[in-house]
A and B are shown apart, each in its own frame.
Chain A
Amino acid sequence: MRSKVIFLADMESFYAGVEISQDPSLRRKPVAVCGDPALRHGIILAASREAKSFGIKTGQPAWEARRMCPWVVFVHPHMQTYIDYSLRITKIFEQYTDRVLPYSIDEQFLDLTGSENIFGSPEKIAAAINRQVWEETGIRCRIGMGENLLQAKMACDCFAKKMANAFFELNSANYARHTWNLPIDALFGVGHRMEKNLYRIGVRTIGHLATLPRDMMRRRWGVNGEVLWLNAHGIDYSTVEPDAVSDQKGIGHTATLPRDYRRRAEIELVLLEMTEEVCFRVRRHGRVGSTAHLYCKGADFDYPTGFSRQKKLPDPGATAAEVYPTVRQLFRKHWDGRPVRAVGISLSGLSSYHQLRFPFSGCCGREEALAAAIDLVRTRFGKTSIFKAAFLQPGAQLFQRAGKIGGHDS
């Protein structure tokens, strides 16, 4: 069987690249995109190539970046512009294949199997894509190629970023030779916690993991362990399905609070606001959710506290009146009384509204009609056009969050 040609295209310093493309006076300057330090968003979201040469990294506090490079130019994020650029790049990719899967705002998979006959060798296609993205958006992209999505991702993350031509190919024949000597945290899917677990059993490199029995990995870490074992061998069953965009497991929101919240009442107020926001989005998708998930992160960095718990709703629902009691119950049961820094709420187990909307015992027609009317007003006049009076109390986040994307200015 002919092997597949999968690309992962990763945009270099995407947010910073977009800012420079929008304002050419920033070209060749050390640029760092970061949120508002006053609202605890003073974290570097992206740094230009020049800023990186001073050691500035994504995730670093702004003050540290300033110390490394006093003349760094800080730019506020413009999330909607980044989304627009990402979509422009998707459209460029679609000129080469109709099988494009955006993986994040700055990474997209392309299935180019069979395109060689039209556009030439994969190297030629990669060069053409790079050139076109650069000319049309001013963004540099790096491309990893593989016979499956995992190989393409590993080729991009571990090698293409360091290559002069920003391209690297991994395949089943060379995968072990190139990757098995890499440290275990370079393997896709290995996070900090898993890295520690693997260290504990003597696994230091991808090659070490590959020599472990598959059964042992599965017994110890379930499906996650088995996927890591497959990843270590360069095996991946994923496919590039453009429609997977609509295949959403859950809908949720997380937010870092502007200060540490200590009082139960003010934390519950934010939970109610976020429940309303999540329910609004669930309804817009014509869905109802069956499981509520609550995440709370403690304020103390040195003693990480918090919890992440979920609970099935008594009946599937998509209004705050149906969902919030469960969220509050989760919070009251698991909150240890310590200050909270970030919260997140999501609804999963989504099903189509029509499938499930039989007259359940707890389901209230008036609530639904009210929610539908409020949705209409909000869709037309914005999130702050109609809201519960409680959201005017100190600590409420509705007005701060309105008009933001991903917690940053749109």
Chain B
Amino acid sequence: MSKKLNQQFACSKMMLPEHRSSLQEHNDQLRRDEENSRPVLDEQQWERLQQIFEWALAERRALKVTVFNRAGREIFTGIPLSGDPTAGRITFSSGSDRPHPVNAADIAHLEPAEDYL
């Protein structure tokens, strides 16, 4: 189907180049802000993360972990070593000598890291 038939307004848009680049900059900034801001998770998503964590802890499998803390966003890959429900803290082994402790509340995303060696 021709683009005009599908998107006649995109085809007839009248934009000054300077306006277009300001908008582009604004959209890029929004994207960056979104990437760096902590997503709000609902109950089902928390449950899913909990399942992934328990599976990785039991099977000693590596996880790709996305954490939002005061320093911003951090992504790392590590095997969960232990979870302390009272302190709300999870310890990961991330390849270095020292274990990597993380506040459970700071975790925004967990997924199995298949390519982890």
Which residue numbers of A lie inside 8 Å of B, CB to CB? 79-80, 83-84, 86-87, 90-91, 94, 101-105, 109, 149-150, 153, 189, 223-224, 226-227, 230-231, 236-239, 241-249, 251, 281, 405-406, 410
Contacts and interface: CB of A to CB of B under 8 A. Distances in A.
Contact of A246 (B6, B12, B24): B24
Given A90-B26, A237-B6, A238-B9, 13 more contacts: A80-B18, A83-B19, A84-B22, A86-B19, A90-B23, A102-B15, A105-B15, A227-B8, A244-B7, A244-B10, A244-B13, A248-B20, A406-B16
A408 to B, nearest CB: 10
Contacts of A410: 18
B9 A101 contact: yes
Contacts of A149: 9
Contact of B5 (A109, A153, A227, A249): A227
A410 B17 CA distance: 13
A409 B33 CA distance: 33
Nearest to A101: B9
B18 A83 contact: yes
B117 interface: no
B16 A79 contact: yes
A236 B17 CA distance: 27
Contacts of B30: 94
B2 interface: yes
B4 A109 contact: no
A103 B9 contact: yes
A241 B7 CA distance: 10
B27 interface: yes
B8 A189 contact: yes
B14 interface: yes
Interface in B1-59: 2, 4-20, 22-24, 26-27, 30
A305 B5 CA distance: 31
Contacts of A79: 16, 18
Interface residues of B, number: 24
A251 B7 contact: no
5 smallest CB-CB distances across A and B, nearest first, come from: A104-B14, A223-B2, A83-B19, A406-B16, A238-B9
Nearest to A252: B17
A104 B61 CA distance: 52
A83 B24 contact: no
B4 A245 contact: no
Contacts of A247: 10
Contact of A223 (B4, B12, B26): B4
Contacts of B19: 83, 86, 102, 105
Contacts of A150: 8
Nearest to B31: A243
Nearest to B7: A238
A405 B6 contact: no
A83 B17 CA distance: 10
A199 to B, nearest CB: 22
A227 B26 contact: no
Contacts of B9: 101, 103, 109, 149, 153, 238
Contact of A105 (B2, B7, B16, B26): B16
A181 to B, nearest CB: 23
Contacts of B6: 237-238
Contacts of A246: 24, 27
B91 to A, nearest CB: 37
A79 B18 CA distance: 9
A327 B22 CA distance: 29
A102 to B, nearest CB: 6
A150 B27 CA distance: 25
Of A94, A101, A223, A242, most buried by chain B (CB within 10 Å of CB) is A223
Contacts of B17: 251, 281
29 contacts: A79-B18, A80-B18, A83-B16, A83-B22, A87-B23, A87-B26, A94-B30, A103-B9, A103-B13, A103-B14, A104-B13, A104-B14, A105-B14, A105-B15, A150-B8, A227-B5, A230-B5, A236-B8, A237-B6, A238-B9, A238-B10, A241-B10, A245-B20, A245-B23, A246-B27, A248-B20, A251-B17, A405-B16, A410-B18
Contacts of B20: 245, 248
A319 B89 CA distance: 57
Nearest to B16: A406
B14 to A, nearest CB: 4
Given A223-B5, A237-B6, A87 B22 contact: yes
Nearest to A224: B4
Nearest to A231: B8
